[in-house]
Structure 1
Amino acid sequence: MSKSLWLSTAYPLDNFPTLQTDIQCDVCIVGGGLSGIANAYFLAKEGKKVILLEKNKILEGATGNSTGKFTAQHTLIYGKLIKKFGIEAARLYYDINIEALNFGKSFTGSDELVDVDSILYSQTKSGTDLLKYEAEAYESLGIPGEFGRYTELPVRMDATLALMNECQIHPVRFGQKLAQLAIEAGAQIFEDSGVLLMDLKENELTLHSHQKVRFKKLVLCTHYPIETLRSMQTMKLSVNRSYIVAAEADILLHGQYISVDFPKRSIRTARIDGKTYFLLSGESHPAGATGNTQVRYDQLFSEVQENFGLSDFTHAWSTQDPQTPDMIPYAGILSSGMPHVYLSTGYRKWGLSNSLVCARIISDLIVGRRNFATELFSPTRTNFGTSLLQALKNTGHVTKEFAIGFTSRRDSPTCTHMGCKTRWNSADETWDCPCHGSRFRKDGSVLEGPATKPLDL
């Protein structure tokens, strides 16, 4: 049951080959989620020789374990963006995410994308005050939101803020469709081709299988920056994990929902191959912070049964996503000292639209086309004080977990990223690292980075 609904109902597709020879390219992309695939498509369309490397199978990471909400309504964000960056930047964030939705609509059919309304809802007076503040931000930005009571669900909703005609997708089928377009445009995709070493001065990658990849430009779409670059970005990202359960249902919802107050819940339905599914997600916590994750699933199971009268559960899975200090993802040149290395990460669980946004920014940078969002999304943009505060918080957490791990979990495997003790996740049957979010399968192989090497079991 731990395999996601999306991965279980993906289109039949032949596996992509494993790289078995040394190769040269204009652009090497590391990471086979939606972000990497979109970069491959955009750049191949521009005539670049593009190689995409995925250490496992494409779309099996964050993309294949998401909620599938494809929307510009990224919970309570626009009021915060106005306060921090101003009206123009907040409007730009909205516009480029709408552009991403329109691009998604341009190549998909009903089996990959459908139109729905996106709704934020409150359950308390304080939550309603937050919604009112966000509604004022919508009005300032000219976003066509509707504040009121959008009553479709048998749960308490004190107030709602809706964006009409947004989208939800089957994220794996959506990604598979885009991958085929990337291949048709000339990109090459290789699976089971994990990166072992990076020589950024020589513009060369070495795979675990010892093949070499020479590149002019390198794009890192690895969800969390991989081990070799940890000194540059590790302390500017926090990682949270959340849980999703699915049950068979009879009725499709007109909207997709997320609460703005406690308990934090996300709700949607999906119709796949003639069957309707109800999805409830929530129970978030810092990645690797708990071993008894079954209680998180049990809480969601209970709520689905009690609040929605459904009990025919089909899937349960979890996901995690990094967050930058200021809520906006990183997309662009890693640093002025490495103008040939590009980074895309920090989607804050809104990676389906932001993956496409970031891919467009990076591809425009590489081909020399102006993109008005380049500065806003630049990895070098973050204010030092804000970054330092986040770094201190994360460093304190890491130091604490490192010490606790070696005193209370002495027999647990040591994470191959920075030496923290992992914690066994009994529900998902994974070894999870509480320091930087690496996850390992039961056999010790890497499931999610930043670690690149397997556990020593």
Structure 2
Amino acid sequence: MSNSLWIHTAYPRDRFPTLDDDIRCDVCIVGGGLSGLANAYFLAKEGKDVVLLEKDMILNGATGNSTGKLTAQHDFVYAKLLKQFGKDNSKIYYDVNEEAIQFGKSIAKDDELRMADSILYSQSKNGTELLHHEMRAYKELGIPGEFGHNSELPIQIDATLTLKNESQIHPIRFGQHLARLAIEAGARIYEQSDVQLMDLNKRLLKLKSDHEVQFNELVLCTHYPIEALRGLQIMKLSVDRSYIVAAEADMALRGQYIAVDSPKRSIRTAQIDGKTYFLLSGESHQAGLESATQIHYDRLYTEVKETFNLSKSVYGWSAQDPQTPDLIPYAGTISSSMSHVYLSTGYRKWGLSNSMVSARIISDLIVGRTNKASALYSPDRTGFGSFVLQALKNTGLVVKEFTAGHLTRMDAPICTHMGCRTRWNDGDETWDCPCHGSRFRKDGSVLEGPATKPLDL
């Protein structure tokens, strides 16, 4: 069963209240991860009356199951961005993510954040060629990368590309601190407040409790948007699942690492309350397509023991990440016909910096301030050809899984989103939908959307 280091070492958690009345607000935010909390903080600081609704506990979703890397080195990405978006937009992507890191540094305290070099590494000739390609992109964009061949890791490494003085965070402690700042700025945060129905024309949300929230502006920070069908976002997002394990260690690493070739691995350490933990992640697949997922944890546990000589693995968890077809997240109005509804999703495993970038974009749009990244991150941006290809791919998967699931998994519960048969995930003990990434706990309750209603078990 998923067992996150960050969730287990969070600050002592006083629950936020459950919404028990009908209320009105300027801005309603749905989703209590880092994205939702950053939006709440930025907008409350602007004097907006902000309400944030979280169906479970804040930060227990994607944020609490991340690697905790707060960096602008988002894998092998800048060479790809240059090709797809050109120099100016690629530089904007780097700049706004670095600005998000600086914001994180400005508010963090104690061990919520520490400095770390971010390092891409190769273990093959082809991987080293990728690093050279990425280094050329760094030079063109003015990114201060350093190419080298040294590493503190006890594995064979051919080459490295280092971005110095980046950050890593304890994502839940950092998020808890941000939540307190949002409350101090005037935001209202409610947990165990599950949205069941939306009337976007009337600007009204109805909760599972039957209480209602009337809003002027709505921000969906729910990972996979509830109202995805309206803007066809459901045809533009694929959902990936990856695995992370943590073991007790003696020494902290100076850097945080990610491989550019196979096997794909992400490595860092964390220092929490006087203890050091070694984190190894990888083993990804498209969400909902595998049932025997324990094998991914077992491979990582074995690698931690045999390659890194750490015998005491104490945590293992998984993360689910929607991806857009062109690498850039979606942040902005969900469609031109619904200019009061905003969407924030598609972080491609780099949600810690991108969630704060997206929150800046959306809060600036709401208060009428120009943001240099708004066009780049817009859900309605150009590039429709790639969207069509992704739509065909995902639609084909949905049709295949819908048909095959009902023929071959007749005993599996039916997802309450669009009727696909779920699969049992033995590693995390959840029911996972292969069509759009909804996940349900063993008792059938919703863990991750776009589904909003529990399974009929």
Give the corresponding residue for 1:30: 30
Give the corresponding residue for 1:122: 122
The answer (yes or no) to whether the contact 1:117–1:255 under 8 Å persists in 2 is: yes
Give the corresponding residue for 1:443: 443
CA deviation after TM superposition for structure 1 residue 446, in Å: 0.2
Which one is further off, 68-77 or 402-411? 402-411
Q: Secondary structure at the match of 1:192?
A: coil
Q: Secondary structure at the match of 1:3?
A: coil
In the TM superposition, what are the counterparts of 1:417-436 in structure 2 within 5 Å? 417-436=417-436
Q: Which amino acid aligns with 2:143?
A: I
Q: Secondary structure at the match of 1:76?
A: coil
Q: Deviation per CA, 1:314-371: give whole Å up to 9, x if none.
A: 1000011100011000000111100100000000000000000000000000000110
The answer (yes or no) to whether the contact 2:231–2:335 under 8 Å persists in 1 is: no
Matches of 1:448 and 1:155, distance apart in 2: 36
Q: Secondary structure at the match of 2:74?
A: coil
Matches of 2:169 and 2:295, distance apart in 1: 28
CA deviation after TM superposition for structure 1 residue 231, in Å: 5.9
The answer (yes or no) to whether the contact 1:68–1:170 under 8 Å persists in 2 is: yes
In the TM superposition, what are the counterparts of 1:72-83 in structure 2 within 5 Å? 72-83=72-83
Matches of 1:350 and 1:231, distance apart in 2: 23
Matches of 2:172 and 2:62, distance apart in 1: 10
Matches of 2:363 and 2:227, distance apart in 1: 24
Which one is further off, 237-246 or 143-152? 143-152
Matches of 2:157 and 2:213, distance apart in 1: 53
Matches of 1:52 and 1:227, distance apart in 2: 17
The answer (yes or no) to whether the contact 1:227–1:452 under 8 Å persists in 2 is: no
Q: Secondary structure at the match of 2:138?
A: helix
In the TM superposition, what are the counterparts of 1:227-242 in structure 2 within 5 Å? 229=229, 232-242=232-242
What are the ranges of 5 or more consecutive residues in structure 2 without an aligned counterpart? Answer: none
The answer (yes or no) to whether the contact 2:71–2:166 under 8 Å persists in 1 is: yes
Question: Is the counterpart of residue 286 in structure 1 residue 286 in structure 2?
Answer: yes
Q: 1:324 to 1:382 in 2, by over 3 A?
A: farther
Give the corresponding residue for 1:315: 315
Matches of 2:396 and 2:229, distance apart in 1: 20
The answer (yes or no) to whether the contact 1:34–1:59 under 8 Å persists in 2 is: yes
Give the corresponding residue for 1:153: 153
Q: Deviation per CA, 1:87-109: give whole Å up to 9, x if none.
A: 11101100000100000000112
Give the corresponding residue for 2:192: 192
Give the corresponding residue for 1:268: 268
Which one is further off, 375-384 or 205-214? 375-384
Give the corresponding residue for 1:226: 226
Q: Secondary structure at the match of 2:414?
A: coil
Matches of 2:227 and 2:433, distance apart in 1: 14
In the TM superposition, what are the counterparts of 1:31-70 in structure 2 within 5 Å? 31-70=31-70
Q: Which amino acid aligns with 1:117?
A: D
Give the corresponding residue for 1:380: 380
Q: 1:158 to 1:228 in 2, by over 3 A?
A: closer
Q: How many residues align?
A: 457
CA deviation after TM superposition for structure 1 residue 110, in Å: 3.2
Give the corresponding residue for 1:6: 6
CA deviation after TM superposition for structure 1 residue 385, in Å: 1.1
Q: Secondary structure at the match of 1:86?
A: helix
Matches of 1:84 and 1:230, distance apart in 2: 26
CA deviation after TM superposition for structure 1 residue 382, in Å: 3.9
The answer (yes or no) to whether the contact 1:243–1:297 under 8 Å persists in 2 is: yes
Q: Secondary structure at the match of 1:111?
A: helix
The answer (yes or no) to whether the contact 1:246–1:314 under 8 Å persists in 2 is: yes
Matches of 2:155 and 2:450, distance apart in 1: 39
Matches of 2:400 and 2:157, distance apart in 1: 39
Q: Secondary structure at the match of 1:72?
A: coil
CA deviation after TM superposition for structure 1 residue 13, in Å: 2.3
Matches of 1:332 and 1:227, distance apart in 2: 14
Matches of 1:228 and 1:141, distance apart in 2: 34
Matches of 1:404 and 1:278, distance apart in 2: 40
Matches of 1:160 and 1:338, distance apart in 2: 45
Give the corresponding residue for 2:350: 350
Matches of 1:254 and 1:228, distance apart in 2: 41
Matches of 1:435 and 1:339, distance apart in 2: 28
- Would you identify which runs of 4 or more consecutive aligned residues in structure 1 move more than 4 Å? none
Matches of 1:97 and 1:183, distance apart in 2: 25
Q: Compute the TM-score of the two structures, normalised by the length of structure 2.
A: 0.99
Q: Compute the TM-score of the two structures, normalised by the length of structure 1.
A: 0.99
Matches of 2:153 and 2:124, distance apart in 1: 16
CA deviation after TM superposition for structure 1 residue 180, in Å: 0.2
CA deviation after TM superposition for structure 1 residue 229, in Å: 3.8
Q: Which amino acid aligns with 1:296?
A: H
Give the corresponding residue for 1:363: 363
CA RMSD of aligned residues (A): 0.9
Q: Secondary structure at the match of 2:371?
A: coil
CA deviation after TM superposition for structure 1 residue 2, in Å: 2.2
The answer (yes or no) to whether the contact 1:44–1:50 under 8 Å persists in 2 is: yes
Q: Secondary structure at the match of 2:232?
A: helix
CA deviation after TM superposition for structure 1 residue 408, in Å: 1.3
The answer (yes or no) to whether the contact 2:228–2:234 under 8 Å persists in 1 is: no
Give the corresponding residue for 1:397: 397
Matches of 1:150 and 1:276, distance apart in 2: 23
Q: Percent identity?
A: 70
Q: Secondary structure at the match of 1:359?
A: helix
Matches of 1:174 and 1:455, distance apart in 2: 33
Q: Which amino acid aligns with 1:280?
A: L
CA deviation after TM superposition for structure 1 residue 228, in Å: 6.4
